[in-house]
Chains A and B, each alone.
Chain A
Amino acid sequence: MNRYPLWKNLLIVGVILVSLVLAWPNLYSQDPSIELTGARGVTVTDASRAEIQAVLETAGVPLKNIALRDGDKLLARFANASEQLRGQEAIEQALSTRYRTALTLAADVPRWMTAIGLKPMNLGLDLRGGIHVVIDVDLEAALEQALERNLADMRTQLRDKKIRYLTLAREGEQVVATFNDAETRDAGVKVLTRNAPDLVVMTSASGERFLAQLSLSPTEQRQIKNFALEQNITTLRNRVNALGIAEPSIARQGERRIVVQLPGAQDPGRLKEILGATATLEYRLVDTEGSVAAAVEGKVPVGSKLYYERDGRPILLKRRVIVTGDQITDAAAGFDNQSGTPTVFVNLDGQGARRMRDMTSENVGKPMAVVFIENRTTTSMVDGKPVKTTRKVEEVISVATIREPFGARFQTTGLDSSAEAHNTALLLRSGALAAPIQIVEERTIGPSLGQDNIDQGLFSVLIGLGLVVVFMGVYYRVFGMIANAVLLLNLVMIIAVLGALGATLTMPGIAGMVLTIGMAVDANVLIFERIREEIRIGNSPQASIAAGYEKALSSIIDANVTTLIAALMLFSFGTGPVKGFAVTLTIGLITSMFTAISCSRAAINALYGGKRLKTLPV
């Protein structure tokens, strides 16, 4: 008795082998590295490698190795995080115009292993350093903006049909129109809903005024909100990519949040500046006929709007926009050939280019203005509570005479500094945010703390494991050593599963592993205590093994299921660090059932099964 059928043994050996292979890449070290990409116009070649090596040598920073990666990137590996940081400083000082640097962690895994898809576990930001930001998207503002856009259309529609209205304005989340009489109102509603059948209309009358309240249907509101969130994610992704950070992660969280994770990033200030910025450009014709002096006093000509230049001078521009920021397909910062001032080279999409060509050919010799628009959010304290106000800043950054018609490609000057040109180009390239955002959570971990966390985590795992292994070996002898072997196997399996699922190991995740060590031996303790009991009441060793396993099974399952319920709740309600803990705990519980029950039984069966025994080393 106590023999496993061949298929069971083969299955167990198979699972163990697969786990070992999956966990293998984790044996290689993860080097703190710098990823180098060429700045605009610079391609990374073997010559760049020599150049960077030379810079690091002069600065006295030891380099582990440097190699080309993916054809257009260089990866410089260092022995530790502090050398990595010193290396980055040296490269930035000497070569910042030619290369962009990004801190990253690169596994020193052989090429063939990566080729067949084996990779080490992802390390969480708390273990490798980096920035974690949670962004809240103001979806109510997105709705209001959508209504504002509708409002302009509605005015034109009513005017085209010659329907006279008294007022037409947005009030909160609806548009309110007032008319002189019920017939006009009903005709107006008919016109307005013809193109937008989804509008929810409520009509009423108060005294002389006849009202129509128009609001968006719930479906449409949901669509607008969803679109705003998706659009913001795309924009943020473009912006983060432009910052040159290796392996960024931008993901939606729930209804209105976006989580941005940037491993290795160390400058939260610049990150937040770029993420939250809402700058865009608009091109308008200058109103050369209207009087600027009269406009400043309040008499702005119809079809024009008063703006101010950066130095405070007032200027009148036509209300009609030629081109807006969302028609810009590409933008690059540079310097003007003639004047040498900072400039942004702009590319337009087809529609924008057509409009620009039409307008410029009709208006040769007339001035055109570039308006820089930015939403600046400031927080002030009112009655002890923070109040957020968003102010739209519109400045005319340049006015130039149209010398000849132009279309898709042109340049804009008038920016303060090359840094502003750089940021504006970046923002124009990545597109505008569809709704205002606010950072509601930020966690930045420095690289040295990450390394400390890894060291301490690893050390406590080893100590805990060592103590348990010694205790089990002394107390349960051979059976204890089997329990120790399956315990190690359990750790290997947790690592293998984490890697295979692409899950991320965090500091609480390591804590979960440590705890699993303690709890995983419980199953074996239950079994071994049962076997001892069976022997004590006079059963044969073979019968005791079988009875021990069978009687302990229901306790083990009950005990694990209850902990599993707690772990699953932690997973579904927890965020960030707690989730990491729940993931390793859950995986550990499941793998421990396999290792502590099946694998230990297979080992015991192989050692003692079918033999005549007088005693058992338990």
Chain B
Amino acid sequence: MLAIRLPNLDFLSQRQRALRISAVIIGICLFSLAIFGLNRGLDFTGGTLLEISYQTPVDLAAVRKSLSDGGFNNVMVQQFGTPRDVLLRIPPVDASNDAQLSQRVMQALNAPNATPVELRRVEFVGPQVGKELVEQSGLAVLFSVIGILIYVALRFEWRFSVGAVVATIHDAIITLGVFSLLQIDFDLNVLAAVLTVIGYSLNDTIVLFDRVRENFRKVRKGTVLDIMNQSVNETMSRTIITAGTVFLVVVALYLFGGESLRGFSLALIIGVISGTYSTIYIASATAVMLGVSRADLLRTPKEALDDGRP
């Protein structure tokens, strides 16, 4: 049988150090979010975005020149994927509601070229819509966190619920923090990924807590810390394998899914790493520090757990 041989480690003894490390990382992330903020994408700022493709590799300076010749001075020009593809962004002030803007930009770009430039994508988001998207996204995050909190609180004890939410917020902040530090575009797709990270991180934490609850009922000896440790160790191989398979697919998505899913898959990669770490160190440590005890769990009626023997 092929199995990951895992030593029985005392994870919880490291909880102070883990919390300190996390506190530092979270601090850096929050600092970056406060100072640099997120590089909000078109979905949230409003404006116009054009993705264009040349038949041969193109020099960005030449693109900028033909744009300024055409009277467009505040267009952001950047490479997009291959050297033939270019992304243009025009801030919302100019784009306000000019239906013909993208056509005029294309005319300016085509002016010096013998072979026409191919327009691959145009996105225009009005300032009002951008504002609404920010609002709706905020609501989506808020309500899903509240919904999950209620569910976990109903299924477990409140200290676990708090532990799970602390671990989840930890992962969300780290994911957002990396996007802020690296100034990667934050658009609707990335937001969806952050929400998925929240779901995944909880998923992981809940599997662990499920085991903790079971062990509290089953194992009569040992301190709270012993049982927590035992549970972490028992679920460790599952934690690693699941994180591994999810990691494999999101890396495949990052490498081969194309430019438009890059931010999305990067957020998931960060989330999977952070989620696995936070499940082991943060979630249970928080529950322990809040003083979870055997009595808290035994008070809830014992579920009919069939041990499978006939």
Contact = CB atoms under 8 A, between A and B. Distances in A.
B10 interface: no
Interface in A437-466: 438-446, 448-449, 452-453, 456-457, 459-460, 463-465
Nearest to B140: A573
A46 B11 CA distance: 78
B199 A563 contact: yes
B253 A511 contact: yes
A566 B148 contact: yes
A465 B248 CA distance: 9
B155 interface: yes
Given A441-B129, A457-B257, A511-B257, A559 B206 contact: yes
Contact of B249 (A464, A533, A534): A464
Contacts of A415: none
B99 A518 contact: no
B248 A438 contact: no
Interface string B24-41: 000000000000000000
Contact of B203 (A449, A465, A533, A559): A559
Interface residues of A, number: 92
Interface in B133-149: 133, 136-137, 139-141, 143-144, 147-148
Given A386-B97, A569-B147, A448 B192 contact: no
A268 interface: yes
B112 interface: no
A379 B129 CA distance: 17
Nearest to B133: A575
Contacts of A572: 140
Interface stretch (A231-239, A361-369, A519-527): A519-527
Interface in B234-280: 234-235, 237-238, 241-242, 244-250, 252-253, 255-258, 260-261, 264-265, 268
A514 B252 contact: yes
Contacts of A268: 99, 102-103, 122
A446 B257 CA distance: 18
Interface string A270-287: 001100100000000000
Contact of B256 (A272, A463, A534): A463
A172 to B, nearest CB: 22
Contacts of A465: 249
A136 interface: yes
Contacts of A543: 308-310
Interface string B47-61: 000010100000000
Nearest to B81: A452
A79 to B, nearest CB: 19
A419 interface: no
Interface stretch (A215-223, A341-349, A403-411, A550-558): A550-558
A468 interface: yes
B123 A518 contact: no
A463 B252 contact: yes
Contacts of A581: 189, 192
A438 B303 CA distance: 58
Interface in A520-573: 521-522, 525-526, 529, 532-534, 539, 543-544, 546-548, 550-551, 554-555, 558-563, 565-570, 572-573
Max chain A CB contacts within 10 Å: which of B128, B140, B244, B252?
A: B252
A610 interface: no
Contact of A441 (B125, B237, B303): B125
B192 A460 contact: no
A534 B148 CA distance: 31
Contact of B97 (A379, A384, A508): A379
Given A439-B126, A525-B238, A573 B136 contact: yes
A142 interface: no
Contacts of A548: 308
Contacts of A576: 188
Given A511-B253, A562-B152, A439 B122 contact: no
A117 interface: no
A522 B97 contact: no
Contact of B200 (A134, A467, A519): A519
B199 A439 contact: no
Given A471-B244, A585-B196, A532 B136 contact: no
A183 to B, nearest CB: 49
A507 interface: yes
Contacts of B182: none
A74 B140 CA distance: 46
Max chain B CB contacts within 10 Å: which of A276, A386, A471?
A: A386
Interface in B192-227: 192, 195-196, 198-200, 202-204, 206-207, 210-211, 214
B258 A558 contact: no
Contact of A136 (B122, B128, B148, B245): B128
B308 A464 contact: no
Given A446-B119, A515-B246, A575 B136 contact: yes
Contacts of A199: none
A515 B124 contact: no
A474 to B, nearest CB: 7
Interface in A263-315: 268-269, 272-273, 276
Interface string A308-349: 000000000000000000000000000000000000000000
Contact of B96 (A269, A379, A508, A577): A379
B96 A386 contact: yes
Contacts of A602: none
Contacts of A554: 210, 303
A517 interface: yes
Contact of A534 (B128, B192, B306, B308): B308
A452 B258 contact: yes
A468 B243 CA distance: 12
Interface string B93-134: 100111110110000000000000011111111101100010
B161 to A, nearest CB: 11
A566 B144 contact: yes
B295 interface: no
B169 interface: no
Given A441-B124, A518-B245, A563-B203, A474 B195 contact: no
A508 B189 contact: yes
Given A562-B206, A573-B137, A442 B122 contact: yes
Nearest to A476: B2
A574 interface: yes
A497 interface: no
B289 interface: no
Given A441-B124, A475-B241, A562-B152, A532 B1 contact: yes
A204 B287 CA distance: 67
A18 interface: no
Contacts of B307: 547
Contact of A511 (B51, B148, B261): B261
B133 A518 contact: no
Contacts of A563: 196, 199-200, 202-203
A515 B250 contact: yes
Contacts of A532: 1, 3
A515 B126 contact: no
Contacts of A442: 122-124
Contacts of B235: 529
A214 B128 CA distance: 32
A618 B203 contact: no
A428 to B, nearest CB: 22
A313 B53 CA distance: 50
Interface of A: 1, 126, 134, 136, 268-269, 272-273, 276, 377, 379, 381, 384, 386, 388, 438-446, 448-449, 452-453, 456-457, 459-460, 463-465, 467-468, 471-472, 474-475, 477, 507-508, 510-511, 514-515, 517-519, 521-522, 525-526, 529, 532-534, 539, 543-544, 546-548, 550-551, 554-555, 558-563, 565-570, 572-578, 581-582, 585, 618
Complex A-B, nearest 4 residue pairs according to Cβ-Cβ distance, in ascending order: A547-B308, A386-B96, A464-B249, A573-B140
7 contacts: A269-B99, A438-B97, A463-B255, A507-B261, A518-B249, A574-B136, A574-B137
